Amino acid sequence: MSQPTGAETTGRYLVLLEDKSVAAGAREMSRVAGISTAGSADSATREELAAADGVIFQDLGIAVVDATPDQVARLTEAAAAPGPISVVEAERVVHAYTVTDEAAAPPVDESVFTWGLQAVGANLSTVTGKGIRVAVLDTGFTVAHPDFAGRTAVTQSFITGETVDDAHGHGTHCIGSATGPRQPAGGGPGYGVAFEAEIYAGKVLSNAGSGSDSGILAGIEWAIANGCAVISMSLGAAVRPGTPHSQIFEQAATRALSKGTLIIAAAGNESRRPGRVNPVGHPANCPSILSVGAIDVQRAIAPFSCGTVDTIGQVDLVGPGVDVYSSWNKEDGGLGMRKRISGTSMATPHVAGVAALIAEKYGSRGWELWARLSQSARRLGLPSTDVGAGLVQTP
């Protein structure tokens, strides 16, 4: 079994089933370990879920199960032999990626557009994101936010006992950067990249800002089922150098790409540059998830931004991630229902918004969308280990 080194875990386990062998995998889990599973949470009945030891995300071919040490050993043994069970991993705890340092207005003119929109060229682009579905998997969304009046948002909460309403603020901020307005209610700079994209807000992190792998996987399956071209995930878990990436999330990402959905995730905020550079976190360190680092207004790498430190995870692109102004869940002094915060979390939705613009202009999906994002990025004269292909640019 793959055990995430040094990671905080939930006590549950993820089981990867061979593609097109989900039913056989469910039978095998029952046979070798006595584990019963229900369908995905949105398709199984309440009674089925209550009686089951776990849930299978059918479209991803991944199960999340409660298992005793003996059952885990049996599943791991089955995964080592030919058959429908491929991989067993401990489920991780994940968190929203935000820096706690005080953010301030950058020394640039933001009277019309934020520095982030200017940096990615959104203020010059004629593409709006119209018709493109963008899923933001985070702490939810403040649906009644005045800046989004007249916009339709499809929402779903994957956190037990909590509605999609964002009592944290992080999710609302990320949705703002990716898909927010160019003319906010009551004035202020435009801050949304794909301002006419269709918003899909999946709550996979609690109001306290934490969640689990299974919540993310549920959100990914939901976004794919709804035909989202882009999934933005400003979340994750720190990893130690040399820690293997999750084979289960890698398979989820490749299966998403095969259905035309690109997953974009934050690289992480654990670095303390220049003295320490930490590796890209989970799940952004998976090869088939586009990993995003952060730069500041001077186009310098943010001191907190994780980087490429070994052969496992790498930064693919960077976006504006310092002193970023966007929507918030409550009044914040003179900024109204908006706030400035920093993190690779803030860079990620900028990239997701640009991805939506490219998807609209060229009809690109999946790997082609990734390629266009990389090919059009602006080179920064910084090491590729920090910035990948460079600063994302709008078409």
Instruction: List the catalytic residues.
Output: 138, 170, 345
Residue 48: is it exposed, middle or buried by C-beta count within 10 angstroms (0-12/13-18/19+)? middle
- To which residue do tokens 């709006």 refer? 128
- Cα–Cα distance measured from residue 257 to residue 367, given in angstroms and rounded to the nearest whole number: 7
- Cα–Cα distance measured from residue 135 to residue 265, given in angstroms and rounded to the nearest whole number: 12
Q: How many of the other CB atoms lie within 10 Å of CB of 47?
A: 9
Residue 99: is it exposed, middle or buried by C-beta count within 10 angstroms (0-12/13-18/19+)? buried
CA distances (Å), origin 13, targets 7, 81, 290: 13, 19, 25
In the structure encoding, which two tokens stand for residue 359, read together? Answer: 């998807």
Handedness of CA 68, 72, 75, 77 (dihedral sign): negative
CA distances (Å), origin 264, targets 11, 101, 178, 236, 295: 27, 24, 12, 12, 17
DSSP bridge partners of 201: 136, 155
